[in-house]
């Protein structure tokens, strides 16, 4: 593959304003080509791009196309930066009036050097907000698609669509479905801006010469070129960079300094500020465990139990052991054996979380180029050790924030699927979607996992419910709870085999969810049997019924959730559960619409 850097623009407006500046602050920049102006961190803008593409394992050659007026500047730059001077191409223009145009400059490089390979072309005068850009991911994505590739980013609120080339992208195929060259307001709702950063297949290079021969110099822009390609229904794909770009050649001095300051501040803020998010445990109020069996459920996240993950940028990737949950010193070999068998070693799981989350983001979101940067990650949690979805969820929130990903990049339904896949495929945990959906959407959530819905869209229908006027809920659990994977025992296989009892029970769970009935626990017990549920769970259910409280198993083994309509019975019931060796607490619902706790990326 060959890389071509375009730096032939004359930057007339910016240079004029630098010359006319009365402060004298920019006098040393008079006559300096725009791509050699200071960028983020004091480095020249072109220095950043040269560092990004100076990879012999990716590019056989790198060429730079400039104009006659500034050729000597780039010759000096090349000598100082180990760039081959013989690869600088002079397009012969000396003013804005006789410039060739961006497409013609690329076509000149192809024709004069007889290039016959895939080409990546980049405008060298672009400020890039993130200095850790990884071009390897761009090349990998380009080679996986049967067409050309455009890079785009999501514009900031202050940027206007009519100043950019705007693309509309199919979220499934990543094809560019529409290209707008500086569209007027109202023509498109897209805020995805294309920049001069393209990958072009060798078979498509003749299109450039055809376009150049048909267009006047003033119309030889890439925006015009891609608009025509799009009209001809040729395959063009889009890849998002989760960062901002600004073409310095199109702005004046005030805009140049504004964007340079903004991007520099962003870089500094990102380096210094830790990222912390929480994910909360959930209780299944209706329908569980039918989430594993095309059923329907209602679940609620609660603030009583949580997992908190903190991520800080660092030189290397570091996973900090939890001081309590991840002991490294033991009293004896027997002590180590007992703790690991009873509680597990969360740090091993945590390593899997990070490795698999990063890998899954790269695989599932391979249309987004993540930056090259490391981090230190630590966690805290008061959720029982067997419940890992909250830790995975909180870690994903941190990574999304760290890599500047949005809900558009990883929609909530897809995020829930992703968390489940990490647990089932990599950690071999028997689980359904209910926990993951509740922790992603948060609050009180209705979930429909009907077979038709799941097959058509790959996820269920999820609706956030009104939490105002909720009654008083309580939660009780055993001090040594069982594994919910064990509670699920062989039910899934029986369901797949069409066992009438299991199929009927799951259908009943779904119906009860729609009816919001309290009969859920009876159906649950009929299919899972008393032996499977265990004496501890059954004892708690019986104890709750003594106080006239509606009660059910919320999901994980070793816990029950109840509804208390008589507040005067709450304290006696608490004492009764405590005397039975159970932990009892009043549920504090987590309402994302009113809470100030940081939980969303």
Task: Write the CB contacts of 353 (distance below 8 Å, at least 6 apart in sequence).
Answer: 388, 391, 392, 395, 422
| C-alpha closest to that of 446 among 464, 425, 434 | 464
Rounded CA-CA distance 208/201 in Å is: 11
Side-chain-side CA neighbours of residue 498 (13 Å): 0
Residue 384 backbone class (left: φ over 0; alpha: ψ -120 to 50; beta: rest):
beta
Rounded CA-CA distance 142/139 in Å is: 5
DSSP for 193-222 reads: EEEEEEEE-GGGTHHHHHHHHHS-GGG--H
Is 433 within 8 Å of 460 (Cβ atoms)?
Answer: yes
Side-chain-side CA neighbours of residue 210 (13 Å): 7
Question: In three state form, how does the secondary structure of 522-536 look?
Answer: HHHHHHHHHHHHHHH
| C-alpha closest to that of 449 among 592, 276, 292 | 292
- The helix or strand, by DSSP H or E, that contains position 341, with its residue range, turns out to be helix 333-343
| C-alpha closest to that of 308 among 225, 377, 400, 238 | 377
| C-alpha closest to that of 153 among 129, 171, 135 | 129
Residues paired with residue 434 on neighbouring β-strands, in sequence order: none
Residues paired with residue 167 on neighbouring β-strands, in sequence order: 179
Rounded CA-CA distance 552/34 in Å is: 68
Q: What six digits make up the tokens of 44?
A: 């020249």
Task: Write the CB contacts of 359 (distance below 8 Å, at least 6 apart in sequence).
Answer: none
Instruction: Clarify whether 566 is annotated catalytic.
Output: no
Options 47, 69, 118, 435, the catalytic residue: 435
* Catalytic machinery residues: 435
């Amino acid at each position: 593959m060959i890389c071509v850097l375009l730096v032939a623009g004359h930057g007339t407006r910016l240079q004029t304003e630098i010359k006319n500046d009365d402060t004298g602050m920019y006098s040393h920049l008079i006559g300096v080509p725009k791509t050699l102006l200071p960028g983020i961190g004091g480095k020249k803008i072109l220095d950043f791009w040269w560092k990004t593409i100076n990879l012999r394992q990716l590019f056989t050659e790198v060429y730079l196309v400039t104009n006659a007026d500034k050729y000597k500047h780039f010759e000096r730059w090349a000598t100082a930066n180990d760039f081959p001077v013989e690869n600088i191409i002079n397009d012969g223009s000396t003013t804005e009036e006789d410039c060739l145009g961006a497409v013609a400059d690329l076509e000149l490089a192809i024709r004069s050097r007889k290039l016959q390979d895939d080409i990546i072309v980049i405008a060298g005068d672009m400020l890039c907000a993130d200095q850790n850009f990884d071009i390897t991911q761009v090349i990998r994505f380009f080679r996986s698609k049967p067409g050309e590739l455009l890079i785009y980013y999501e514009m900031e609120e202050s940027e206007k669509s009519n100043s950019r080339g705007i693309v509309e992208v199919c979220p499934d195929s990543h094809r560019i479905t529409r290209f707008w060259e500086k569209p007027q307001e109202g023509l498109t709702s897209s805020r995805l801006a294309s920049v001069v950063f393209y990958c072009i297949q060798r078979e498509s290079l003749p299109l450039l010469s055809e376009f150049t021969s048909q267009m006047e110099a003033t119309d030889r822009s890439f925006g015009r070129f891609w608009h025509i390609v799009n009209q001809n229904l040729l395959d063009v794909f889009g890849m998002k960079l989760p960062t901002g770009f600004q073409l310095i050649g199109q702005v004046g001095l005030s805009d140049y300094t504004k964007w340079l300051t903004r991007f520099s501040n962003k870089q500094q803020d990102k380096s210094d500020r830790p990222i912390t998010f929480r994910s909360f445990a959930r209780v299944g109020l209706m329908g569980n465990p039918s989430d594993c069996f095309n059923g329907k459920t209602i679940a609620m996240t609660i603030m009583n139990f949580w997992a908190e993950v903190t991520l800080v940028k660092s030189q290397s990737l570091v996973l900090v052991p939890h001081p309590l949950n991840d002991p490294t010193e033991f009293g004896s070999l027997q002590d180590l054996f007992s703790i690991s068998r009873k509680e597990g070693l969360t740090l091993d799981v945590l390593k899997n979380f990070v490795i698999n989350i990063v890998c899954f983001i790269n695989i599932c979101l391979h249309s987004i180029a993540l930056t090259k940067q490391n981090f230190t990650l630590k966690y805290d949690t008061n959720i029982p050790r067997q419940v890992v979805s909250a830790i995975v969820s909180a870690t994903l929130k941190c990574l999304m924030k760290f890599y500047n990903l949005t809900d558009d990049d990883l929609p909530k339904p897809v995020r829930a699927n992703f968390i489940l896949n990490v647990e089932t495929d990599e950690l071999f945990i028997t689980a359904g979607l209910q926990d993951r959906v509740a922790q992603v959407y948060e609050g009180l959530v209705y979930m429909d996992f009907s077979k038709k819905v799941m097959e058509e869209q790959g996820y269920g229908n999820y609706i956030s419910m009104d939490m105002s006027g909720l009654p008083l809920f309580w939660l009780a659990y055993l001090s040594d709870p069982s594994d919910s994977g064990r509670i699920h025992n062989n039910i899934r296989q029986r369901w797949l085999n069409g066992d009438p009892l299991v199929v009927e029970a799951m259908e009943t769970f779904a119906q009860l969810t729609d009816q919001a009935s309290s009969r859920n626990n009876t159906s649950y017990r009929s299919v899972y049997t008393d032996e499977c549920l265990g004496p501890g769970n059954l004892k708690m259910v019986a104890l709750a019924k003594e106080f006239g409280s509606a009660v059910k198993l919320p999901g994980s083994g070793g816990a029950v959730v109840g509804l208390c309509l008589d507040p005067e019975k709450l304290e006696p019931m608490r004492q009764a559960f405590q005397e039975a060796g159970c932990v009892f607490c009043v549920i504090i619902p987590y309402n994302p619409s009113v809470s100030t706790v940081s939980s969303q990326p």
